[in-house]
Every structure is written in structure tokens, then in C-alpha cells.
């Protein structure tokens, strides 16, 4: 059973536009929600993360919106740039024994110049 569902699978955005990726989770024990950026042949890099005590977190052009009652969270990339073209993974974890992360299936973002 997929613990974290992510959409869309792929996304094409014009330079300067807003990229939005959505995730939903099942386990209410999760209390940590990071987003990772991965380039081909590289390991995932931690981009931004949120805990459920806040509904939004912003770091530079990246914003996480979190809806605890709906068990959903999303990543917004403002002023998207060609260098943002990568695969983005949402994840959830915490309070689950090993505190390991459960990842979504990824969104391949392409930003067109």
C-alpha cells in the first residue's frame, strides 16, 4: 500500500511560472513532511520540510502548504527556472519506529525557457 501518493507524474512549466506538486498521506502518525529534489544520477537533496504544527513554510522560491485535516501537502515553486528541472519527491515520516521516510513516486518537472 502506497503510504504517500504524489501527483502529477510529470509537469511542464514555462520559465517564470509557478510549479505545483501535490501529495497525500494516510498515516496520521506522520509528523514530518520533507520535499527532495533529485537530478539524474544523483541522490535526493533535501529541499524544504514542514512539521504539522504550521500550515505553510517558505524558503526562497519554495513554499510548502500543509492541510492536516485533509492529510495533504503541496510544494509550490515560484518563478520557476530551467535549473529547477529535476524530479521532486515528497515524503512523510516520524513516529513510526525507525523514523524512516515513506516517499511518493516522484514528479518530473521540466521548466521551458
C-alpha span between 67 and 80 (Å, rounded): 23
C-alpha span between 82 and 102 (Å, rounded): 28
For other proteins, the closer CB: 80 or 89: 89
Query: For residue 75, what are the CA distances in angstroms to 21, 95, 104?
Result: 5, 23, 13
Least gap, CB of 16 to other proteins (angstroms): 28
Kindly identify the residues of this chain, within the stretch 17-56, that bind other proteins according to CB under 8 A: 32, 34, 36, 41-46, 49
Whether residue 8 is preceded by a cis peptide bond, meaning omega within 30 degrees of 0, is yes
Beta bridge partners of 73: 23, 66
Least gap, CB of 32 to other proteins (angstroms): 4
For other proteins, the closer CB: 77 or 106: 106
Residue among 72, 50, 51, 52 nearest 62 (CA)? 50
For other proteins, the closer CB: 65 or 96: 96
Kindly identify the residues of this chain, within the stretch 93-112, that bind other proteins according to CB under 8 A: 93-94, 97-106
For other proteins, the closer CB: 14 or 100: 100
Contacts with other proteins by CB under 8 A lie at 4, 6, 32, 34, 36, 41-46, 49, 89, 91, 93-94, 97-106
Amino acid at each position: 500500500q502506497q503510504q504517500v501518493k504524489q501527483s502529477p507524474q510529470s509537469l511542464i512549466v514555462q520559465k517564470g511560472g509557478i510549479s505545483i506538486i501535490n501529495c497525500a498521506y494516510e498515516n496520521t502518525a506522520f509528523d514530518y513532511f520533507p520535499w527532495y529534489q533529485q537530478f539524474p544520477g544523483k541522490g535526493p537533496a533535501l529541499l524544504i520540510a514542514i512539521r504539522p504544527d504550521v500550515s505553510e513554510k517558505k524558503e526562497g522560491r519554495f513554499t510548502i502548504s500543509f492541510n492536516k485535516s485533509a492529510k495533504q501537502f503541496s510544494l509550490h515553486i515560484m518563478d520557476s527556472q530551467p535549473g529547477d528541472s529535476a524530479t521532486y519527491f515528497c515524503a512523510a515520516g516520524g513516529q513510526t519506529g525507525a523514523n524512516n521516510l515513506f516517499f511518493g513516486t516522484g514528479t518530473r518537472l521540466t521548466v521551458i525557457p
